[in-house]
Chain A
Amino acid sequence: MTILRPSSTYPSASPAATSDSYAHLLPLAELGDHIIHGEHESARENANLNGDSFSGKMSRLGSEYARWYTRQNVLPAPVLQAVQQNRIYIHDLDHYALGTTNCIFIPFEKLLRDGFSSGNGSLRTPNSIMTAMAQVAIIFQCQQNAQYGGVAANKLDYDLAPYVTRSFRKHLRKGLRYFESAAIHTSANAAAGEVDFAASTGSSAVSSVSAAQSSGLIEQPESTLFQDTLRNDWEELILTASMGDEQLAVRYPHAYAYAVEETRTETYQAAESLIHNLNTMSSRGGGQIPFTSINYGTCTSPEGRLVVQSLLAATVRGLGHGETPIFPIQIFKCKQGINQQPGEPNYDLFLQAVECSSRRLYPNFANLDAPLNAEYMIPGEPDTEFATMGCRTRVVADRFGRNHLSGKGNLSFNTINLVKLGIDHGIHRHQLASVNRQQAQRIDSRLENSKFTDAPIHLTDSTLALPDEKEFYRALDECIAIAAEALLHRYRIQAVQPAKASDFMMREGVWEGGDHLQPDEPVGDCLKHGTLSIGFIGLAECMKALYGAHHGEDEQVYEHALELITYMRRACDALSERHNLNFSLMATPAEGLSGKFVQMDRQIYGSIEGVTDREYYTNSFHIPVYYPVTAARKIRMEAPFHHHCNAGSISYIELDGNARQNPEAMTSIIRYALSQNISYFSINHPIDRCTSCGYEGIIGSHCPDCGASEQEVHIARLRRVTGYLTGDYQTRFNPAKQAEVRDRLKHS
C-alpha cells in the first residue's frame, strides 16, 4: 500500500492517495510531511523532546500514527465525539491502544536490596553508595521504557542510606587498618607498659598485643600478624558500625574521621554522577531523557542526611559548565517536627534546600502536614509519606489497601475543558439572545468552524446575564461521565496486557506484585491499585465566561469556583465506589493542552475578552498569571483547591529578580504556603545564562557581566513548564507556553 501524498517532491499524483479506499489516509500522509519537514506544532508539544532532531521526528511518526489509529479504530464513539468537540482531552493518546501505563513510584529499597535484571544482565546488591547511585540511574532508565510517563523515587534518602553505611564501613575498615594499627604500634613502642589503650578499646586482643610488644617479644615485621588478629576483632565492630556512632568516634578518632571524610567525598561524587547521568542518558524514544523525580528530606540518620546534602550540593554546583540541571525534578518533603523549625533534626537541610531552589529552581516543596497528605501517613513508615511525581502526580490512597506510594502509579488521565462549558452556559447563551440569531445557531450546531466574529467580544452587562448553572452542571456531568468512560475503556485495555509487555516493570516487581506474574499473565490484578484520574483546565476562564469575573477577582465567584471543584471531587469519589477502582481528581499539568483547547474554542466562539483572547488557558485552578495579586493572597486563594485534588496539584509564585541573593524572601513565602496547607509548592524566578561568559542571573538585552548583546550572543533563558524545567524556553516551549511565560506577572 502506497500512501505517498503528492507534494513538491513528488509532483505526480499517487493513484493510491486519490483512490477512495485510501482517502482517509490522506491526513496521515500530510502529517508525515509536516513532521519530516519540521512544520508540525506537535514537534514542540513536549518541552523535553527535541522535535527537530532525527530521533524526535522518528518518534513523532510512530506516535502520530498511533494517535490516528486509536481515533480510527479504538476510541468509543461518544469519547471520540467529545474529543472532537473539544470537551475532553485524552492525554498520551498514542499509548492508548497499546495499554501502556503512565507513571510510577519505584521501590528502590527493594530493587537495590534484592538486585535486579535489566533484561540483558543482572546486577547484585550494591556495596557502596557510588554503585547504588549508578544503579538508581540504571533502574530509572529501565523503568522509563516500560511506561510513557514519569519515574520517581518517593524517599531516596531512606532508600540510599544503607549504601552510605556500606561505604562508611568499607572506609572504616581501611581507616582502622592504616591509622589505628599504626597508632597502636607507635604507642606500644613509645610507651611500653602504659597500656591503658587496651582499656579504652575494651579489646583483649589489643591488650595482649600491646603486652607482647611491650615485653619486647615481638619484632616489628611480625606486626602484620597481630594486625590480622586485630582485624578479626574489628570485623565485628565494622559489621554494625554507623556514621552516627559516637563511641566509635571516641575510640578510633583517626579511623572514624578518615571514614567519615571518605564517605562524604564518595557520596558527593555519587550524587554528582547521578545528576549528570539523569541529564545525559537520552535513552527514551525521540532522544528524551527519562522524566525523573526524586523526593527526600525526612530521613534523619546521618547517612540519609548525607544523601540529601550531597544531592543539593551537586545540584547547586550544576552540570559541566555550571548550568542548571533540568532533571531530576527534586522535591523536598517538608514535615513539622523533622525539618521545619530551628532545632529540628533536618532543619538545616530545609534551609539548604531553599538556598538550592533560589539558585536552581529545584527542589520544589511537598507538604506532608497538609491534612490531605497527613491522613495516610503512618509514623515510622516512610513509604506512606506524601511525595510527588514531577509535574504534580499524587498517588497515596488505594481502596485495595496499598496505602503507600512505591510500587504503583497513575494509569492514565483525561482532562475536561471547563472553559468551553463555561462559554456554552454563560456568555454564549446570552449572545444567542442578543446577537444575530442565524450566525449563533450556526455556531451552536458546530456545522462550521468559521469564526463567529472577527471583532473581539467584550464582557459587558448585556452579554452577561445570569448563567444557566443547572445546564452547566448537567453538561459537566456528561463530560465527567465520558472522561470516566474513556478511562475505564483504556483501563480494560491496560488490564489484559500480558506481564511481558511492560517487561522490566512487572518482571522485577517495580509495580508491586508484578514479579509474581507469569510472562503471559494479564496485569489487571496488579494495576487496579493504580489511579485513574480526571483533570480539569481553565477554571479561571470558565468563571469569567459564566460570571464575568474569575475567582481571583470576586469573592462570590470564588465560592462558585470552589464549589465546582468540590463537586468534581465528589464525582470522582462516586466513580470509585461505582466501579470499585481508584478514581481521583487532578489539577492538570497543561503543557501542550493549554494552547490546543483555546485555539479550537476561539475558532468556534471567536476572541472573548478574558476567556479566549490569550494563547493559552490558565492551568487547573490557578489564579491567572497575568492577574496582579500579592503572593500571600494567591497562596490563600489557591490553597483550598489543593485539598480536593487528590490526584495532585501544584501552586507557584512568580518572583522577578535575583532570588539567589535573597533566600530570606524564598523561605518566608515557602513557609507561608505550607502553613496554608498548599500540598505542593514552588517558586518560579528567572534564571538567564550568558553563553559567552557563563554569567547566571537576570539578563536583559545585554549581559551585565561581559556586556555581550542578546543580538550577538545566545542568552539561554531557563523557565519552568508545568512543574519541570526546560532548557531554554525560547526554543523548547510550544507557542502557547511561550505566551504564558511572557504574561506571567511577577512578584518582584
Chain B
Amino acid sequence: MNICGYIPESINEGPGLRAVVFISGCTHRCPGCFSPHTWSFRAGEPFTPELQQQIIEEMAENPLLSGLTIAGGDPFFSAAEVSEFVQRVREAIPNFSIWIYSGYTWEELIHSAIPEYLKLLQLCDVLIDGRFVQQQRDVSLLYRGSRNQRIVDINRSMDQGKAVCLL
C-alpha cells in the first residue's frame, strides 16, 4: 500500500480540523477526476509501519484534531491494509472520528463478495460514497464533488439496513 498525500490539518474533508491521508490507487478512473495522479498504485511512497506510526503519533499529539479522513485514490482497493492502519489509529486515539472516501457506493460495498470491504466500513464512522459524475458536478456541495455522492452514517446505516445520510 502506497500513500500519495498527507495533510496534518485540513478543513475540507469533514467537520472540524482533520488529518487527511491519501491512499494511492484507483481503478474507477472517473472522467473529470481532480486528482488522476493518485490513480496509480505506485504513486507516492510505501505506507510503511514506521510512517504509519509517525502519523499516528502526530495526530495523537494534536489537541485540535477532531478526526482522520482517509481519501485516495480509493482506499477500498487496499481495504485489508487500510483496516490494519485504522485499527492502529483506533487503539492509539480512542474516540477519534474516522471518515473514509470511496468511489463505490454504500450498496456496492455492503453487497460485495469481498469481506475486507465490510470490515473496513465497520471500522469507520462515515463514508463519502460514489464516483465523481461530471454532469452532476456542484461546487457548493460540502466535502463532495458531484450531487450523486453522499455522506453516509455507517453505524446507523448498518442498523437500519440502508444508507442513512448525514446531510
A contact residues vs B (CB 8 Å cutoff): 630-632, 655-659, 661-662, 664-665, 668-669, 672, 697, 704-705, 747-748
CA distance A664 to B11 in the complex (A): 9
Tell whether, in the assembled complex, residue A665 and residue B142 are in contact, meaning their CB atoms are under 8 Å apart.
Answer: no
B139 is an interface residue with CB less than 8 A from chain A: yes
Q: How far is the CB of B140 from chain A (nearest CB, A)?
A: 8
Q: Are A747 and B9 in contact (CB under 8 A)?
A: yes
4 further interface pairs, Cβ-Cβ under 8 Å (given A631-B17, A668-B17):
A630-B62, A664-B16, A705-B139, A748-B10
Structural contact, B11 and A655, CB atoms closer than 8 A: yes
Interchain CA distance A662-B66 in the complex, whole Å: 12
Contact flags (1/0) for B12-30 with A, using CB distance below 8 Å? 1001110000000000000
Residue from the list B7, B15, B64, B139 in contact with A672, Cβ < 8 A: B64
Interface core residue of A631, A665, A669, A748 (most chain B CB under 10 Å) = A665
Asked whether any CB of chain A lies closer than 8 Å to the CB of B8, the reply is yes
Would you call B94 an interface residue if the criterion is a C-beta within 8 Å of the partner chain's C-beta atoms?
no
Q: A704-B139, A705-B139 are in contact. Are A665 and B11 (CB under 8 A)?
A: yes
CB–CB B17/A665 < 8 A: yes
Which chain A residues lie closer than 8 Å to B66 at the CB level? 664-665, 668
Question: Are the C-beta atoms of A747 and B139 separated by less than 8 Å?
Answer: no
Q: List 19 A-B contacts (CB under 8 A).
A: A630-B58, A630-B62, A630-B64, A631-B9, A631-B64, A655-B11, A656-B11, A657-B10, A661-B11, A664-B15, A664-B66, A665-B16, A668-B16, A669-B17, A672-B63, A672-B64, A705-B139, A747-B9, A747-B17
Residues from chain A with Cβ under 8 Å of B10 in the complex: 657, 747-748
How close is A706's CB to chain B, nearest CB, in angstroms? 10
Q: Is the CB of A659 within 8 A of B11?
A: yes
Tell me whether B7 and A669 are in contact (CB under 8 A): no
**Chain B residues numbered 119-157 whose CB sits less than 8 Å from any CB in chain A:** 139, 142
Mark out the residues of chain B between 63 and 92 whose CB falls within 8 Å of any chain A CB in the assembled complex.
63-64, 66
Residue tally, chain B, CB below 8 Å to A: 16
With A631-B17, A668-B64, A672-B63 known as contacts, the answer to whether A661 contacts B142 (CB < 8 A) is yes
Q: Give complex CA distance A656, B9 in Å.
A: 10
Residues of B within 8 A of A669 (CB): 17, 64
Bound-state CA distance A655–B58 (Å) is 19
Contact of A657 among B12, B62, B63, B139 (CB under 8 A): B12
Residues of A within 8 A of B15 (CB): 662, 664-665
A655 to B7, CA, bound (A): 12
Taking a contact as CB atoms closer than 8 A, the residue among A632, A657, A659 that contacts B64 in the complex is A632
Please name the residue on chain B nearest to A675 by beta carbon: B63
Q: Within 8 Å CB of A664, what residues of B?
A: 15-16, 66
Q: How far is the CA of A259 from the CA of B66 in the complex (A)?
A: 44
Q: Which residues of B contact A661 (CB under 8 A)?
A: 11, 142
Report whether over half of chain B's contact residues are helix, strand or loop; otherwise say mixed: loop
Known: A630-B64, A631-B17. A662 touches B11 (CB 8 A): yes
- The CA-CA distance from A705 to B139 in the complex, in Å, is 7
Closest chain A residue to B7, Cβ basis: A748
Rounded to whole Å, the gap between the CB of A102 and the closest CB of chain B is 36
Contact A662 B139 (CB under 8 A): no
| CB closest residue in chain B, given A676 | B63
Q: Which residues of chain B have C-beta atoms less than 8 A from A662's C-beta?
A: 11-12, 15-16
Chain A residue at smallest Cβ distance from B15 = A664
Residue of A nearest to B58 (CB): A630
Contact flags B44-60 to A (C-beta < 8 A → 1, else 0): 00000000000000100
Task: Considering the complex, give the chain B residue whose CB is closest to the CB of A666.
Answer: B11
CB contacts (< 8 Å) of B8 on chain A: these are 630, 747
Q: Which residues of A contact B58 (CB under 8 A)?
A: 630
Closest-by-CB residue of B relative to A747 is B9
**CA A662 – CA B17 in complex, angstroms?**
9
- Give CA–CA (A535, B66) in the complex, Å: 37
Q: How far is the CA of A656 from the CA of B17 in the complex (A)?
A: 11
Collect the chain A residues with CB atoms within 8 Å of residue B12's CB: 657-658, 662, 748
Contact of A630 among B9, B16, B139, B142 (CB under 8 A): B9
For A697, the closest partner residue in chain B by CB is B139
Interface centre among B7, B17, B63 (most CB of A within 10 A): B17
- Determine how close the nearest CB of chain A comes to the CB of B62; give it in whole angstroms: 6
Partner of B11, one of A632, A705, A748: A748
A630–B17 Cα gap in the complex (Å)?
11
What residues of chain B lie closer than 8 Å to A697, measured between beta carbons? 139
- Are A658 and B11 closer than 8 Å at their CB atoms? yes
Closest to A685 in B: B11
CA–CA, A704 to B15, complex, Å?
A: 22
CA distance A697 to B12 in the complex (A): 12
CA distance A662 to B62 in the complex (A): 18
Residues in chain A near residue B62, CB distance under 8 A:
630, 632
Bound-state Cα–Cα, A442 to B17, Å:
52
The smallest beta-carbon distance between B57 and chain A, in angstroms, is: 12
Nearest-Cβ distance from residue B47 to partner chain A, whole angstroms: 20
> What is the minimal beta-carbon distance from B92 to any residue of chain A, in angstroms?
17
Taken together as a complex, chains A and B put the C-alpha atoms of A661 and B15 apart, in Å, by 8
Compute how far the CA of A669 lies from the CA of B65 in the bound complex, rounded to whole angstroms: 9
Give the distance in Å from the alpha carbon of A659 to the alpha carbon of B10 in the complex.
10
Complex CA gap A655/B139 in Å reads 19
Cα distance A705–B142 in the bound complex, in angstroms: 14
Which of chain B's residues have a CB closer than 8 A to the CB of A630?
A: 8-9, 58, 62, 64
**Contact between A748 and B9 (Cβ–Cβ < 8 Å)?**
yes
Write the nearest CB–CB distance from B109 to chain A, whole angstroms. Answer: 26
Whether B63 and A632, one on each chain, are in contact in the complex, defined by CB atoms closer than 8 angstroms, is yes
A668 to B16, CA, bound (A): 7
Residue of A630, A632, A661, A672 with most chain B CB atoms under a 10 A cut-off:
A630
Q: Shortest Cβ distance from A345 into chain B, in angstroms?
A: 26
Cβ contacts under 8 Å, A672 to chain B: 63-64
Contacts of A632 in B (CB 8 A): 62-64
Are B11 and A657 touching (Cβ within 8 A)? yes
Q: How far is the CA of A630 from the CA of B18 in the complex (A)?
A: 12
- Which residue of B7, B11, B12, B63 has the most chain A CB atoms within 10 A of its CB atom? B11
For B12, the closest partner residue in chain A by CB is A657
Residue of B nearest to A703 (CB): B139
Chain B residue numbers with a CB within 8 Å of A665 are 11, 15-17, 66
Give every chain A residue within 8 A of B139 (Cβ-Cβ): 697, 704-705
A631 to B9, CA, bound (A): 8
Q: A224 vs B158: C-alpha distance in the bound complex, in angstroms?
A: 70
Which residues of chain A have C-beta atoms less than 8 A from B7's C-beta?
748
* Interface pairs A-B: 4 shortest CB-CB: A704-B139, A657-B12, A747-B9, A664-B16
Q: Shortest distance in angstroms between B138's beta carbon and chain A's nearest beta carbon?
A: 9
The smallest C-beta distance from A224 to any residue of chain B, in angstroms, reads 56
Chain A nearest CB from B111 CB (Å) reads: 32
> Least Cβ distance of B18 to chain A in Å?
8
> In the bound complex, what is the Cα–Cα distance between A656 and B64 (angstroms)?
16
CB of A121 to closest CB in B, whole Å = 50
Chain B residue numbers with a CB within 8 Å of A704 are 139
CB distance from A68 to the nearest CB of B (A): 48
Query: Smallest Cβ distance from B44 to chain A, in angstroms?
Result: 18
Query: Which A-chain residue is minimally distant from B10 (CB atoms)?
Result: A748
Q: Which residues on A sit within 8 Å (CB–CB) of B63? A: 632, 672
Expressed in whole angstroms, the Cα–Cα distance for A378 and B89 within the complex equals: 47
B8, B62, B64, B66: residue with the most chain A Cβ atoms closer than 10 Å = B64
